[in-house]
């Protein structure tokens, strides 16, 4: 890629309005691809998705390789993008970009999966001026919209929303970024689009009349079927609400308060990553859901921070000292003692260990 090339990454959760924003950016002269490269409109998005089929295909396959799907609520393991298993995808992405965007000075792409996979793009686009446009929509509105399209429970939808935005914010550190509220965009698109275009270095068309005609042809009230207020988010989990309020704050300001943004994002992600490690088996996809063993086989760092692992080991050691090892009985073996759960001399504990390690014996998301 030529060094003068600028790539605009449009980030946002599924059903957050990224399709409409991507089309608006395209109307400013930013290249997305040829018509045949883009997916067709659907019943749930009659104005079009404005995303490339090849990018969707690549990122969907990569998520499968990482034992995730688009609606996973669990964060990916640390340093997943450095795994040897990811290298073929990285090389494929480089070829895709070189073949389709090398001759364009400014281009953009949109696929919500990029929220989870941004480090791959940062490495593949080394030497390119990469910038991000975050599209912000209420987690409750996203959850309601998802529920109409897919049988996703409200609680899980909040988790998927949180994972997408928090992961993308963490990985976008150091990149020039703009934030746009979908609700504000629908209410008054021109000032919102002007602000973001100026922030990202996107030129404004001289023929403003044509732009307004094009925009008015697809910016309509029926693009939004759910509209909630902050007061309506009282039942939303606190971390989700806190992140949404932060996103609204930075969307309403001309300049992003970088220090406050980083502090909040880093704190929320540390907590999220730590807590998610307790529930990894239940958060992974049941169809793909591989345990830490699978991650180890793939060369991926297991989702268990060293501090948490040491803490669990200390608890186990303390419990052994307090309780001791119960003597086995010849007639009734009873439940396997905690200290012997991994012993090769206990067939019963072996079977339990196998049940715990078999990801297909439990249902996840």
H-run or E-run covering 180: strand 176-181
- Residue 136 falls inside a structural domain: yes
DSSP state of 80: G
- Residue 310 falls inside a structural domain: yes
Residue 131 contacts residue 179 (beta carbons within 8 Å): no
- Residue 298 falls inside a structural domain: no
pLDDT of residue 40: 72
- pLDDT tens string 104-119: 999 999 999 999 999 9
- Residue 193 falls inside a structural domain: yes
- Residue 251 falls inside a structural domain: yes
- Total domains present in the chain: 2
pLDDT of residue 235: 83
* Rounded Cα gap, residues 189 and 220, in angstroms: 11
Q: Are residues 14 and 152 in the same domain?
A: yes
Q: Which residues of the chain have pLDDT under 70?
A: 1-3, 41-49, 221-228, 279-365
Residue 348's domain comprises 305-361
Q: Are residues 218 and 339 in the same domain?
A: no
pLDDT of residue 283: 44
Q: Are residues 351 and 280 in the same domain?
A: no
Q: Are residues 313 and 198 in the same domain?
A: no
pLDDT of residue 348: 41
Residue 34, domain CATH: 3.40.50
Q: Are residues 57 and 190 in the same domain?
A: yes
Q: Are residues 235 and 336 in the same domain?
A: no
pLDDT of residue 280: 61
- Residue 22 falls inside a structural domain: yes
- Residue 299 falls inside a structural domain: no
Three-state SS at 130: strand
Q: Are residues 29 and 107 in the same domain?
A: yes
pLDDT of residue 299: 52
pLDDT of residue 210: 93
* Rounded Cα gap, residues 255 and 246, in angstroms: 13
**Exposed e or buried b for every residue in 330-361, given b needs 16+ CB within 10 A?**
eeeeeebbeeebeeeebeebeeeeeeeeebee
């Amino acid at each position: 890629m030529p060094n003068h090339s600028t790539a605009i990454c449009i980030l946002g959760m599924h059903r957050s309005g990224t399709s409409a924003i991507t089309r608006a950016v395209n109307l400013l002269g930013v290249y997305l691809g040829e018509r045949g490269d883009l997916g067709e409109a659907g019943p749930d998005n009659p104005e079009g998705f404005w995303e490339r089929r090849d990018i969707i295909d690549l990122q969907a396959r990569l998520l499968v390789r990482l034992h995730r799907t688009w609606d996973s609520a669990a964060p990916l393991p640390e340093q997943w993008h450095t795994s040897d298993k990811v290298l073929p995808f990285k090389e494929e992405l480089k070829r895709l970009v070189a073949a389709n965007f090398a001759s364009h000075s400014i281009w953009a792409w949109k696929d919500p999966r990029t929220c989870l996979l941004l480090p791959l793009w940062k490495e593949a686009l080394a030497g390119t001026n990469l910038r991000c446009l975050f599209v912000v929509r209420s987690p409750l509105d996203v959850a309601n919209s998802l529920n109409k399209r897919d049988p996703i429970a409200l609680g899980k939808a909040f988790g998927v929303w949180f994972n997408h935005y928090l992961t993308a914010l963490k990985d976008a550190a150091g990149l020039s970024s703009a934030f746009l509220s979908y609700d504000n965009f629908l209410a008054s698109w021109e000032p919102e689009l002007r602000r973001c275009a100026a922030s990202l270095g996107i030129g404004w068309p001289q023929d403003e009349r044509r732009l307004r005609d094009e925009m008015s042809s697809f910016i309509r009230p029926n693009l939004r079927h759910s509209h909630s207020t902050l007061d309506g988010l009282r039942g939303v989990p606190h971390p989700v609400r806190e992140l949404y309020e932060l996103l609204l704050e930075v969307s309403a300001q001309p300049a992003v308060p970088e220090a406050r943004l980083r502090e909040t994002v880093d704190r929320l992600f540390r907590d999220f990553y730590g807590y998610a490690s307790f529930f990894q088996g239940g958060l992974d996809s049941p169809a793909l859901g591989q345990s830490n063993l699978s991650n180890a086989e793939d060369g991926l760092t297991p989702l268990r921070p060293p501090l948490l692992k040491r803490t669990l080991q200390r608890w186990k050691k303390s419990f052994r000292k307090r309780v001791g090892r119960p003597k086995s009985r010849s007639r009734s073996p009873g439940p396997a003692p905690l200290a012997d759960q991994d012993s090769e001399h206990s067939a019963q504990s072996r079977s339990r260990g196998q049940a715990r390690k078999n990801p297909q014996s439990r249902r996840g998301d």
